[in-house]
Amino acid sequence: MSNATEPKTALGKTANYLDERLTLGSVLKNFGRKVFPDHWSFMLGEVAMYSFVILILSGTFLTFYFQPSMAHTIYEGSYAPLKGAEMTVAYSSSLDISFDIRGGLLMRQVHHWAALLFVAAAGLHMLRVFFTGAFRKPRELNWLVGFFLFLAGMGAGFTGYSLPDDLLSGNGLRIIDGMIKGIPLVGPSISSGFFGGEFPGTEVIARLYSLHIMIIPAVIIALLAVHLMMVVIHKHTHYPGPGRRDDNVVGYPLMPVYVAKAGGFFFLVFGVIAAISATFTINPIWNYGPYDPSPVSAGTQPDWYIGWLDGALRLAPGHMDVSIFGYVIPMGVMLPLIVSLLFLAVVAAYPFIEAWVTGDKREHHLLDRPRNAPTRTAIGAAGVTFYAVLWAGASTDLIAVFFQMSLNHVLTAMQVLLIIGPILAYWVTKRTCLSLQRKDREIALHGRETGRVVRLPHGEYIEIHEPVDKYELWKLVDFKDYEPIMPRPNKDGKITLGTKIRASLSKFYFEDRIAPVSKAEYELAHADHAPETIEEPKRKPKQIKAKK
């Protein structure tokens, strides 16, 4: 059929070979010039993904030497203060990786730093998606996939943290055991199943290892594939601006610009992690010693992404064992668990809640500037504060020592802050957003303040305002704006509870909104000697247009 174009060069022949088997031409035709918007905040997800690739590479190295066995052995390696100590094979092989295998220490540090960065970048990426409203239709499901990716990342981190079987991670496992045992009815049995009998047992490291190197990475890879597939289907969102609309995507083509930038970025992330790993110690397991149920070290904390759960355990009120028919429900464990799960549930459900409140069923590909969605931004700030207080709660002891304060005062202050902080953060953020919106209106209507003051012939002093150009003006006025909805009766003439809740939520979201500048307002402001603003008269001296 296609004898017309017989390839001649080596490259051409290879391409022909592949295309005849893989339809490569069609793939390239469809994806080669796909457009990706360019913004620094769009790369955070990439940081997480690249960290994951680095984790797989360095983790594979570690699996060649690590032995997930809790059999007892006597350490005979290079680290003098542990020579002759009794320990598990898991711990001794981790020490051997650190001291006696060339490149082992570097790979361990790369693996651990990359793990911390993986979850941190994923978390920041989630925040970016939240605060710009990128989770709205059609991306709600992808938000959920991302949410589960974050959870899987935490799970991967925790299972890995426990593997070296050192004193620090052993005490971490012990805390997990204590929490599991506290679960009503099934707790003790789950604990026995997890540890293969009583804590610490001889099974748990091997089980965590299976989870850490097989199941959880497989789940992450599967979720990541779905996550990326959806990005391809939806195409990436873009920030508002001239020429950017809900029905287009503005950016650079995949080939060559994005391949070079995103491909190069992988090397940059890896390079930064390598540089940090070469110069900074992470998780010095040799300092902690082998796990033993009797000792514990001051400053026993989990890695940062589990910190908020540990903080929840610390901030729980005491004296709270509830007894029902002689059965005990330890609220010092259950309350933090319930609160954390509720928090996660709200995070997962947020896109659906907001979609229900606005009733907006259109697709949104143009992001919100955070100020233009004040209530969402404020809710986000409250959530971040809640999380941050729990997180800081996990280091109460270190805060107390570092700032020379009473541990008890720090803890009590954190408990108060956990309630007040989010409310305060909500209020401050909302007010800030509204003020920024007002400022945007001012600039759109009257131009930017130039700082130049002139005296008019009749003696009045005014500051010259410079109108913004059309591109900037468009950025200031083009955003989505919602009104509170009224509860309306349904067909039977009744106002259902759902409608009422929805109406009051809608009021909560939009009642004090600042609407974008309308055409009428703009024209009024630009007519000579017109009253200068509609809603806020006499706030500023009258201005004239700047002279060129």
Partner 1 sequence: MNKKPMRRRPWALGVVIFLGLIASGGGYAFATQSVQTNAVGSAEQIEEGRKLFLANCATCHGSNGEGAIGGPSLIGVGAASVDFQVGTGRMPGQASGPQLYKKPVQFTEEQIAAMASYVASLAPGPAIPSEEILRTDGDPTHGGELFRINCAMCHNAVGAGGALTEGKFAPALGGVSEKHIYEAMITGPQNMPVFNDANLTPEDKKDIITYLKYVEQNDSVGGLELGSIGPVAEGLFTWIFGLGFIIAITVWLGAKAN
Partner 2 sequence: MSELEQYSAGSRTNIERPIKDPGMEPHRERMTDKSERHARNAERQVALLFGISVIGAIIAVWGFLAFPIVGGDLSATRNGAFWMGIGMALSLLGIGFGAVHWAKTLMPDAEVAEDRHIARSSDETRAKAVEIIKLADGESGFTRRKLIRRSLYGALAFFPIPAVVIFGDLGPSVGDTLKHTMWRSGTRLTKDPTGIPIKASEVTIGSVFHVIPEGLSELEHHKLEEKAKAAVLLVRVNPADLKEDPAKAGWSYDGIVAYSKICTHVGCPVALYEQHTHHLLCPCHQSTFDLADHCKVVFGPAARPLPQLPITVDAEGYLVAQSDFLEPVGPSFWDMRK
In the window 295-314, what residues touch partner 2 (CB under 8 A)?
295-300, 310, 313-314
Which C-beta is closer to partner 2: that of 234 or that of 540? 234
234, interface contact from partner 2, partner 1, none, CB < 5-8 Å by kind? partner 2
**What sign does the CA torsion over 388, 389, 392, 395 have?**
negative
- Tokens of residue 285, six digits: 């397991």
Q: List the one residue from 272, 454, 495, 544 that touches partner 1 (CB under 8 A).
A: 272
Q: List the one residue from 54, 82, 315, 473 that touches partner 1 (CB under 8 A).
A: 82
DSSP 166: B
* Using rule CB under 8 A, residue 365 touches partner 2: yes
* Using rule CB under 8 A, residue 408 touches partner 2: yes
Q: Cα 225 to chain center, whole Å? A: 18
Please tell me the distance from the alpha carbon of residue 380 to that of residue 289, in angstroms, as a whole number. Answer: 41
Q: List the one residue from 288, 386, 387, 426 that touches partner 1 (CB under 8 A).
A: 288
* Using rule CB under 8 A, residue 337 touches partner 1: no
Amino acid at 188: P
* Using rule CB under 8 A, residue 463 touches partner 2: no
Which C-beta is closer to partner 2: that of 47 or that of 381? 47
Please tell me the distance from the alpha carbon of residue 379 to that of residue 349, in angstroms, as a whole number. Answer: 13
User: Least distance (Å) from partner 2 to the CB of residue 461?
Assistant: 29
Amino acid at 172: G
For residue 451, the surrounding DSSP H or E stretch is strand 448-455
Which C-beta is closer to partner 2: that of 123 or that of 330? 330
* Using rule CB under 8 A, residue 259 touches partner 1: no
Task: Report how far apart, in Å, the C-alpha atoms of 486 and of each of 480, 505, 532 are.
Answer: 19, 11, 32
Q: Which of residues 242-261 bind partner 2 (CB under 8 A)?
A: 242-243, 245-253, 256-257, 260-261
CB 220 within 8 A of CB 152: yes
* Using rule CB under 8 A, residue 40 touches partner 1: yes
- Tokens of residue 35, six digits: 């457009």
Q: At what angle do helices 304-315 and 331-358 cross, to 10 degrees?
A: 120
Q: Which of residues 135-174 bind partner 1 (CB under 8 A)?
A: 167-168
Q: Which of residues 171-230 bind partner 1 (CB under 8 A)?
A: none
User: Least distance (Å) from partner 1 to the CB of residue 23?
Assistant: 32
* Using rule CB under 8 A, residue 387 touches partner 1: no
Alpha helical stretches, state H, 8-139: 10-22, 24-31, 44-63, 89-99, 104-131
303, interface contact from partner 2, partner 1, none, CB < 5-8 Å by kind? partner 1
459, interface contact from partner 2, partner 1, none, CB < 5-8 Å by kind? none
Pattern 291-310, binding to partner 1, x per CB under 8 A?
-x-xxxxxxxxxxxx-x---
242, interface contact from partner 2, partner 1, none, CB < 5-8 Å by kind? partner 2
Q: Which of residues 93-122 bind partner 2 (CB under 8 A)?
A: 98-103, 105-106, 109-110
Please tell me the distance from the alpha carbon of residue 193 to that of residue 298, in angstroms, as a whole number. Answer: 30
- Report which of 160, 150, 140, 141 is spatially closest to residue 120, judged by C-alpha positions: 150
Q: Is 418 exposed, middle or buried (0-12, 13-18, 19+ CB in 10 A)?
A: buried
304, interface contact from partner 2, partner 1, none, CB < 5-8 Å by kind? partner 1
Q: Which residues is 454 bridged to in the sheet?
A: 462
* Using rule CB under 8 A, residue 138 touches partner 2: yes
415, interface contact from partner 1, partner 2, none, CB < 5-8 Å by kind? none
User: Least distance (Å) from partner 1 to the CB of residue 427?
Assistant: 26
User: Least distance (Å) from partner 2 to the CB of residue 95?
Assistant: 11
Strands 72-74 and 86-88: antiparallel
* Using rule CB under 8 A, residue 198 touches partner 2: yes
Which C-beta is closer to partner 2: that of 193 or that of 489? 193
Q: Which residues is 87 bridged to in the sheet?
A: 73
84, interface contact from partner 1, partner 2, none, CB < 5-8 Å by kind? partner 1
**What sign does the CA torsion over 389, 394, 396, 402 have?**
negative
Q: At what angle do helices 104-131 and 140-162 cross, to 10 degrees?
A: 150
Which C-beta is closer to partner 1: that of 140 or that of 397? 397
User: Least distance (Å) from partner 1 to the CB of residue 150?
Assistant: 15
Q: Which of residues 21-40 bind partner 2 (CB under 8 A)?
A: 34-35, 38
- Tokens of residue 500, six digits: 């009422």
Which C-beta is closer to partner 1: that of 66 or that of 288? 288
Q: Which of residues 473-532 bind partner 2 (CB under 8 A)?
A: 473-474, 477-478, 480-485, 506, 510, 515-523
Backbone angles phi, psi at 328, to 5 degrees: -110, 130
Alpha helical stretches, state H, 64-203: 89-99, 104-131, 140-162, 167-182, 187-195
Which C-beta is closer to partner 1: that of 113 or that of 509? 113
* Using rule CB under 8 A, residue 415 touches partner 1: no
What is the SS3 string spanning 419-458?
HHHHHHHHHHHHHHHHHHHHHHHHHHHHCEEEEEEEECCC
* Using rule CB under 8 A, residue 61 touches partner 2: no
Which C-beta is closer to partner 1: that of 99 or that of 356? 99
User: Least distance (Å) from partner 1 to the CB of residue 392?
Assistant: 10
* Using rule CB under 8 A, residue 328 touches partner 2: yes
What is the SS3 string spanning 364-416?
CCECCCHHHCHHHHHHHHHHHHHHHHHHHHCCHHHHHHHCCCCHHHHHHHHHH
